[in-house]
Amino acid sequence: MTHLKEESGENSLSKMLHSKTNHCLIYLTFMTVLFSIPAVSNAQKTCAEKLGFPQGKKVLLLHMDDAGMCPEANAAVESYIENGYLRSTAVMMPCPNAASFLEWAKSHPLADVGMHLTLTSEWKTYRWGPVSDPAKVPGLIDPEGKLYHDVPGVVMHASAQEVETEIRAQIEKAIALGHKPTHIDTHMGTLYGSPEYIKVFLKVAEEYHIPANIIDLSDPEVVSKFKQEGYPINADVIKSMGEYRLPKLDNFTSVQEGTTYEEKRANFFKLVKSLNPGLTEIIFHPATLTENLKTITGSWQQRVWESELFADPLVHKFFKDEGIIITNWKDIMQRFEKK
């Protein structure tokens, strides 16, 4: 089972829409269409400008997904944070190394650690179940007693109430371990798999006053494009997102793959240059190289390169030359609260 293209958002839309067994990330592909669409009209301020960032600047939220999934993911994320390269990450609470990562985070107060709300267990042999009592979320559990491998499996079986029960349990588990999440997002985009899930996502974010990775859909052109692509955005979702009271993103995408490290780095530079000004979250999945990592995921090489990319002096020079501003969810919320 290969998940490399699924995680990096490279699978074609047509495959995603016509195959229930394709594990394509609904939300990730959903957001990458923004490459060619202005985040907001010229008459409006970008989300970045609303937070006090300079007009016309590209502001990047470089986000490390999958902390807690395995020791290799933890080691890569910890290295980035300890060396001051990046700060923003999110932990997968159902996974075996989540608690140890949160314990590490206690001694690193600058770390921006959120929840990578996890409703799927995608790997062939390395799998996990829900945090909540299985009896309360039967629709989330597959015949093997784990979370479903893919987003369609969740959408076909789990109610919005079961989804809400589980994501609340994941947040509460982190709090019980002594960590208040700085933000929440969604593993494999599952919380964008149906309008009902989206509403739950927004509801939980606001009740906990924890920002979610929500895109600004105030531009009708953006909404029209999403509808043309067949995504589950209806009038109620647009209304709910419009009423959402926490910070929003102008754009969302992922670090693209490459056949070599140099090609991957070049693809990243091309991606950033293609972005419009505003606040863009770019996700990636760093991990250190071990034989164990190779048994978990077919994307191990891309993940290893992603553990090197943002420590690369050429990448740092690129950011400086391009006038890129790097931020994180802690900074975003501090700016938001001061408004």
Domain boundaries, the chain: 4-338
Cα–Cα dist 177/155, whole Å: 30
pTM for this model (two decimals):
0.86
Position 5 confidence tier, pLDDT thresholds 50, 70, 90: very low
Cα–Cα dist 164/295, whole Å: 32
| Cβ atoms of 48 and 57 closer than 8 Å | yes
Is residue 18's pLDDT more than 50?
no
Cα–Cα dist 200/168, whole Å: 10
Cα–Cα dist 132/93, whole Å: 11
Helix residue ranges per DSSP H, 116-260: 151-157, 160-176, 195-208, 220-228, 235-243
Q: What is the pLDDT of residue 218?
A: 79
Position 30 confidence tier, pLDDT thresholds 50, 70, 90: very low
What are residue 59's DSSP bridge partners?
Answer: 279, 325
Helix (H/G/I), strand (E/B), else coil: 241 = helix
**Mean pLDDT, rounded, for 262-288:** 97
For the chain, what percent of residues have pLDDT higher than 90? 76
Give the CATH architecture of domain 4-338: Alpha-Beta Barrel (3.20)
Long-range contacts of residues 140-148, Cβ cutoff 8 Å, at least 24 apart: 140/166, 146/121, 147/94, 147/118, 147/119, 147/120, 147/121, 148/119, 148/120, 148/121
- Choice among 218-232, 274-288, 298-312 with the minimum mean pLDDT: 218-232
- Choice among 150-164, 237-251, 322-336 with the minimum mean pLDDT: 237-251
Position 236 confidence tier, pLDDT thresholds 50, 70, 90: confident
Q: What is the pLDDT of residue 301?
A: 98
Is residue 9's pLDDT more than 60?
no
Q: What is the DSSP string of 282-323?
A: EEE------HHHHHH-TTHHHHHHHHHHTT-HHHHHHHHHHT
- Choice among 21-35, 71-85, 103-117, 212-226 with the minimum mean pLDDT: 21-35
Is residue 8's pLDDT more than 60?
no
What does the pLDDT look like over 58-105, one tens digit per residue?
Answer: 999 999 999 999 999 999 999 999 999 999 999 999 999 999 999 999
Q: What is the pLDDT of residue 230?
A: 58
Position 339 confidence tier, pLDDT thresholds 50, 70, 90: confident
* Mean pLDDT computed over every residue of the chain: 88
Contacts (Cβ under 8 Å, ≥6 apart) of 313: none
Is residue 130's pLDDT more than 90?
yes
**Mean pLDDT, rounded, for 190-197:** 92
Is residue 245's pLDDT more than 60?
yes
Tokens at residue 328, please?
Answer: 């994180």
Cα–Cα dist 82/96, whole Å: 22
**Mean pLDDT, rounded, for 333-337:** 97
Q: CA–CA distance from 105 to each of 90, 92, 97, 321 (Å)?
A: 11, 14, 13, 32
Helix (H/G/I), strand (E/B), else coil: 178 = coil
**Mean pLDDT, rounded, for 271-292:** 96
| Cβ atoms of 281 and 213 closer than 8 Å | yes
Tokens at residue 241, please?
Answer: 């997102």
Q: What is the pLDDT of residue 28?
A: 44
Nearest Cα residue to 25 out of 37, 8, 40 = 8
Q: What is the pLDDT of residue 225?
A: 56
What does the pLDDT look like over 200-216, one tens digit per residue?
Answer: 999 999 999 999 999 88
**Mean pLDDT, rounded, for 252-278:** 96
Is residue 246's pLDDT more than 90?
yes
Position 252 confidence tier, pLDDT thresholds 50, 70, 90: confident
Q: What is the pLDDT of residue 36?
A: 39
> How far out from the chain centre does Cα 282 lie?
8
